[in-house]
Structure 1
Amino acid sequence: SRAETREAQPSSKMAVVWQYFKVSEKDQRFAVCNTCSVEISRGGSVRKSFNTTNLIGHLRSRHEAVYGDYLQADQKRKNEAAKEAQTPVKAQTSIDTAFEKAKQLPPDSTKAKQITNKVMEFIALDDQPFSVVEDVGFRSLMKFMEPRYTLPSRRHFAEVCLPEIHNIVATHIHELLACDIAAISFTTDIWSSDVSPVSMLSLTAQWINKDFNLVKAVLHSQEFAGTHSASAISEAFEKMFQTWKIDKTRVHAVVRDNAKNMKKAMMDSGLASFGCMAHTLQLAIHDGVFSQRSLTDIVSICRKIVGHFKHSPLAYSRLQAVQIQLGMKPKRLQQDVSTRWNSTFYMMESLLEQKRALATYAADYDLPATLTAHQWQLIENFITLLSPFEQLTREVSSSEASAADVLPSVTALRRLLSKQADTDHGVKTTKTSLLEAINRRFDQIQYDPMFCIATYLDPRYKDRYFDEDVKQRAREILEAHQLADAGAEDVTRDGERAHHTERKRQRSDRTGPSLYDVFEEILEENGSERTSTSSVSQQLGIFLSEITIPRGESALCYWRNNHLRFPELAQIARKYLSAPCTSVESERLFSSVSHVLDEKRNRLCCDKAEMLIFVNKNMHLIKK
């Protein structure tokens, strides 16, 4: 019927190709070519399956001129459709948003304030100078990100934004310090800048909160002008504690260096303090090892060799070519710092690793000094001797290390240095001197209640590293904390014996003495075949009778999971385990200070520098 034919006839808007075809009146499944009157299948038997593919193919293969006209008409139709689709969008944009896009954000608008705060965070967290907001690239980036935003001046960020964000962070830390804190431990140090005439005094705090998480905060890195006398340091501490409303009764310990002025300042302030373990190790190793003439000569030669390559790009490129020729990975030699014994250790280690490359280099080029075969052997023996000290220095310098690590570490070092080894050849005298230096520098450590109680309440160590008299003294100190008396019960230690047997088997699989082996050996000697009954406290008896946890596990995690079993012990542990064993936190702080007071900001005043460092180090507390 005619109605069916009209229904089968496609709209011209749907396909341009129908300008050259019409639907067959005999059968709507076919189309008739207007040029040659040939019937072409529409590609199906029902309407929903019809298409124009066969029609277009017919024009392309049979009527090239007509096909060219079709392509032009089809492209014109596509262009018109695109314009029709874009017109409503353009009209909507011009009416609703064009004016808003051209309008600048008011400086006091929420959006502008949020962007300004983020820029200030960027400056503080990434150690950027305030002048970054005047850099062409940064301004271009901000313009691209938000064209309506007007970037404030560097002075606005320094005078307005920085104090605002500093106050926000300081308020949060005040709130944290006002919480239920058993005790607070501190580290402190004094630093002098290389690029400006500035000295700064640091004060970092850390404590264990009620959830047994270690919380750290930087309280001060303030300018410390004038003489660094004990009285001046003591006065500065009084002011810093007043600023943060910290009563001295809440101060557990202050970790400092071993300088006499710092020791006296802590005594004058009535603050319990002890020397940084890493610094004390530095002094002991210097006394026992680097004071030896044979090693000082070797260190001097090593510094000349490393300095030769450090100051000559040509020499380094030649060494690099030798390394590649020998199939070695190109690697720079490490320069040492005289105040860091482990940097000298790393320097000798890097030279020993490049021994073959240096020998090949010396055959073709000049070196300012060379090492003999005997000296190379001494270097290897010294590295073996000092490896446990390097290993221990890394451990005690970690952010999780506490005062509980000191006594066990010293006990293990003494045991290790007392043993004979095949690598002692040429270093026996040095080894003996090193043991004497360790004994002298740490002679009173086992009598210090701060270290004894911390070790006693660390589930990795407990009382396994004490002599009997020290154990008794530690018990008496704990008893002074008024632990509840309770009937004691015998607790067998079959599990501990089995655990130590497995530890012993694992040690036997390794060759050569290790500091870790000595730790396990002491635990085994003082822990096996022992039952514990305590007349002082049932809590203490059960705690000591249970197996020690592995040294790689967290003491705070243990107390988080067991504080309900040992409530009184847990509260004492919160106090004594809060103290770090080194002042590394303050030293790391001054590394950040050197990034702030650099060549690009050598005129930055100290109060601005302190606020930048304060925000940089404490922002994570707000982010949490």
Structure 2
Amino acid sequence: MRPFHIVEGEEFLELMKEVAPVYKVPSSTHFKKLLCDKYDVMKREWSVKISKANDLCMTIDVWTETMNEKSFLGITTHFIEQASITNLNIATRELNTNHTAEYISNVFSDILNDWRIPLTKITCTVTDNKANMVAAIRQTLGESKHLPCFAHTINLIVQSSVNIASIQALISKVRNIVKWVKNSVINSDKLRKLQIEAGVPEGSTKKFIIDIKTRWNSLYYMLEHFLDMFKLASALTLDSTDSPEMLTGQEIEAIKKIVQLLKPFEFVTKEASGQNYVTLSKIIPMVSCLISEVRKFSTSIECVIQLQSKLMAECNKRFGLIEYNTYAAFGTILDPRFKNLHFQDANACGRAIQKLKSIIEVDVSTSSEEEDVAKDDFDFCSPSVKEKKGLQKVTKCPYIYPAQYLA
């Protein structure tokens, strides 16, 4: 993870002279060439894997490298290889102009062309909910092949919901205390000393966590850790004249209720972040359980009641039609753990089942004709059924649904 030019540094060369006096250290250009050669080899190997896959899914994201203020577009392709999920990062392309939908669409298309991936092979593409990303995929692949990221949607729901003045006031008080401790070596040492004096082993002492704006669950962890350590924080603030204002008993109780209310959102965020197992079929069940948990939550604290109401409204806004999403509905129905148990809308469930039946009927019908073709291949006395019907011989198992319908 060091820059190439480190091998030309004076101190590095002196070190190598001591370690291996007869070794001639190659130039940075040499290592760049080795890396480019390795990239070419890996690209050829990955291209073969991708070309053999029947269907592909893509995940696309744009992010900014804050140190250099450069933006990049990352693309990962997902497919089934020998009954296992395979994920390959095929591009990290620097973006040189405004992130318009047209520009992102052009860069995406250029990367697909570079890897010789036909658009017809792509089943679905997952992005965040930003308008330019959604529009870019629709321009490139069409509306039916786009799926918003579930975890990002949860992030938007919580971030929008906690944006209540009374809730923000509580969060700010916690954040100020956390910053006050973390930004001071003296306070951090005092915190660790207090825990050791309380009998906590040296290696098991805890630290405060500060939240990050782009990760809602970091806010949850900050509040959760603060509740575990607020007595220690109280002792620290009482022992200092420049400490921020400590929370009252009523405010601590409100924070406890906020953490309790947000816990289901933290659970589904973690559950939806798996890489080595399928998560699509869990979306409808998780949304159903999430809304149920928020709805039955009970409290008498006014600001938490407002938060609960806002969370319900945002969930209905973002997930109100989730059962009509073909990918999510098919995935849930075909998952033997869930089937149609978590559908709240009978029309949406019936619509999905009817679509599946029509797909199965077409697939079974096609497979029957293929069996006729296979039988006729051994009949050398009569004209080929293939010639009569104009069919192409295929080897797909008739009992496996086409991957594009399973997403």
| TM-score tier after normalising by the smaller chain length | 0.7 to 0.9
Q: Deviations over 1:87-112 (max 9, x none)?
A: xxxxxxxxxxxxxxxxxxxxxxxxxx
Q: Helix, strand or coil for the counterpart of 2:124?
A: strand
Q: Helix, strand or coil for the counterpart of 1:331?
A: coil
Tell me by how many angstroms 1:284 deviates. Answer: 1.1
CA distance in structure 2 between the aligned counterparts of 1:484 and 1:430, rounded to whole angstroms = 48
* In the alignment, structure 1 residue 338 sits paired with structure 2 residue 187: no
The 1:567–1:408 alpha-carbon spacing in structure 2 relative to 1, beyond 3 Å, is: farther
Match of 2:110 in 1: 239
* In the alignment, structure 1 residue 451 sits paired with structure 2 residue 328: yes
Q: Helix, strand or coil for the counterpart of 1:178?
A: helix
* In the alignment, structure 1 residue 296 sits paired with structure 2 residue 172: no
The 1:128–1:194 alpha-carbon spacing in structure 2 relative to 1, beyond 3 Å, is: same
* In the alignment, structure 1 residue 222 sits paired with structure 2 residue 93: yes
Q: Deviations over 1:317-354 (max 9, x none)?
A: 22222222233453211111122111111111111111
The 1:479–1:190 alpha-carbon spacing in structure 2 relative to 1, beyond 3 Å, is: same
Structure 2 residue identity aligned to 1:255: V
Q: Helix, strand or coil for the counterpart of 2:361?
A: coil
Q: Helix, strand or coil for the counterpart of 1:481?
A: helix
CA distance in structure 1 between the aligned counterparts of 2:210 and 2:267, rounded to whole angstroms = 19
Counterpart pick for 2:199 among 304, 308, 327: 327
Contact 1:208–1:575, Cα closer than 8 Å, also in 2: no
Structure 2 residue identity aligned to 1:479: K
Tell me by how many angstroms 1:576 deviates. Answer: 4.9
* In the alignment, structure 1 residue 481 sits paired with structure 2 residue 359: yes
Point out the structure with max Rg over C-alpha. Answer: 1
Q: Helix, strand or coil for the counterpart of 1:368?
A: coil
Contact 1:203–1:221, Cα closer than 8 Å, also in 2: yes
Contact 2:281–2:335, Cα closer than 8 Å, also in 1: yes
Contact 1:408–1:465, Cα closer than 8 Å, also in 2: yes
The 1:194–1:484 alpha-carbon spacing in structure 2 relative to 1, beyond 3 Å, is: closer
Match of 1:380 in 2: 256
Alignment of structure 1 residues 65-104 onto 2, 5 Å? none
Match of 2:4 in 1: 130
Identity in percent: 27
Contact 1:457–1:569, Cα closer than 8 Å, also in 2: no
Match of 1:200 in 2: 72
Contact 2:323–2:349, Cα closer than 8 Å, also in 1: no
Structure 2 residue identity aligned to 1:253: C
The 1:576–1:335 alpha-carbon spacing in structure 2 relative to 1, beyond 3 Å, is: farther
The 1:389–1:137 alpha-carbon spacing in structure 2 relative to 1, beyond 3 Å, is: farther
Tell me by how many angstroms 1:385 deviates. Answer: 0.9
The 1:567–1:407 alpha-carbon spacing in structure 2 relative to 1, beyond 3 Å, is: farther
Match of 1:259 in 2: 130
Match of 2:317 in 1: 440
Match of 1:585 in 2: none
Counterpart pick for 1:176 among 49, 63, 67: 49
Tell me which stretches of 4 or more aligned residues in structure 1 moved more than 6 Å.
none
Match of 1:101 in 2: none
Q: Cα RMSD (Å) of the superposition?
A: 2.3
Tell me by how many angstroms 1:462 deviates. Answer: 2.1
* In the alignment, structure 1 residue 363 sits paired with structure 2 residue 238: yes
Q: Helix, strand or coil for the counterpart of 2:61?
A: strand
Structure 2 residue identity aligned to 1:441: R
CA distance in structure 1 between the aligned counterparts of 2:264 and 2:15, rounded to whole angstroms = 48
Q: Helix, strand or coil for the counterpart of 1:369?
A: coil
Alignment of structure 1 residues 105-124 onto 2, 5 Å? none
Tell me by how many angstroms 1:225 deviates. Answer: 0.6
Q: Deviations over 1:188-241 (max 9, x none)?
A: 1111222224211111100112x2210110011011111111111111111111
Alignment of structure 1 residues 356-435 onto 2, 5 Å? 356-366=231-241, 367-399=243-275, 400-421=277-298, 425-426=301-302, 427-435=304-312
Match of 1:354 in 2: 229
Unaligned segments of structure 1, at least 5 residues: 1-126, 487-565, 579-624
* In the alignment, structure 1 residue 157 sits paired with structure 2 residue 35: no
Contact 1:345–1:383, Cα closer than 8 Å, also in 2: yes
Segment of structure 1 superposing worse, 454-463 or 351-360: 454-463
Tell me by how many angstroms 1:294 deviates. Answer: 1.9
Tell me by how many angstroms 1:267 deviates. Answer: 1.4
TM-score where L is the length of structure 2: 0.83
CA distance in structure 2 between the aligned counterparts of 1:393 and 1:346, rounded to whole angstroms = 13
CA distance in structure 2 between the aligned counterparts of 1:246 and 1:376, rounded to whole angstroms = 55
Contact 1:257–1:275, Cα closer than 8 Å, also in 2: yes
Tell me by how many angstroms 1:242 deviates. Answer: 0.6
More contact order relative to length (CA 8 Å, sep ≥ 6): 1
TM-score where L is the length of structure 1: 0.55
Contact 2:360–2:401, Cα closer than 8 Å, also in 1: no
CA distance in structure 1 between the aligned counterparts of 2:300 and 2:31, rounded to whole angstroms = 61
Q: Helix, strand or coil for the counterpart of 2:400?
A: helix
Match of 1:277 in 2: 150
CA distance in structure 2 between the aligned counterparts of 1:139 and 1:459, rounded to whole angstroms = 60
CA distance in structure 1 between the aligned counterparts of 2:253 and 2:43, rounded to whole angstroms = 55
Match of 1:570 in 2: 400
CA distance in structure 2 between the aligned counterparts of 1:137 and 1:255, rounded to whole angstroms = 50
Counterpart pick for 2:182 among 306, 310, 313: 310
Structure 1 residue identity aligned to 2:186: L
Contact 1:132–1:138, Cα closer than 8 Å, also in 2: no
CA distance in structure 1 between the aligned counterparts of 2:192 and 2:38, rounded to whole angstroms = 49
Tell me by how many angstroms 1:286 deviates. Answer: 2.2
Tell me by how many angstroms 1:480 deviates. Answer: 3.1
CA distance in structure 2 between the aligned counterparts of 1:439 and 1:567, rounded to whole angstroms = 40
The 1:219–1:409 alpha-carbon spacing in structure 2 relative to 1, beyond 3 Å, is: same
